[in-house]
Amino acid sequence: MRVLVFVLVMLAAAKIGVQEYVVATAKSEIIISAYRDRAVGACGEAARTRHIVVEPKWSHASQVRLVIGKSGLDVGLWQFDHELWPARFKHPYLFITMRDEPRKVFCEFDVVAGSASVFQL
């Protein structure tokens, strides 16, 4: 009987996990498709101001992914009253990667602020 209960609990946990994964993936795809054109325009403008030439164009990006929060900001989880706390833990960002051999060009688009920053490695 314990084995049956254990198997049922594991099946329920797997079902909930798969549902959460599917919902998170769908939300991510919706946000990416909604803001991709704005991000491409902002990234192109940011690249022009920094004199970074990217071929092919930003609309042919090799990778676009959604990230919640900007990990590079020095704000602790407990610092709710810090002015950068929402940017660190709440705001969505689109990261666009361009493979322009032999270098990589990245663009970080802040969905809330509507601004982009471009850098290359």
In a domain, 68, yes or no: yes
Query: Does residue 32 form part of some domain?
Result: no
**Chain segment 36-90, per-residue pLDDT in tens:** 889 888 888 888 888 777 766 766 677 888 888 887 788 888 888 888 888 888 8
Tell which residue, 107, 102, 55, 110, has the closest CA to residue 86.
110
In degrees, rounded to 5, the angle at the alpha carbon of residue 93 between the alpha carbons of residues 29 and 48 is: 110
Please give the model's pTM, rounded to 2 decimal places: 0.74
pLDDT band at 105 (very low <50, low <70, confident <90, very high): confident
Residue 20 in any domain: the answer is no
Number of folded domains that form the chain: 1
28 domain-assigned: no
pLDDT level of residue 101 (50, 70, 90 thresholds): low
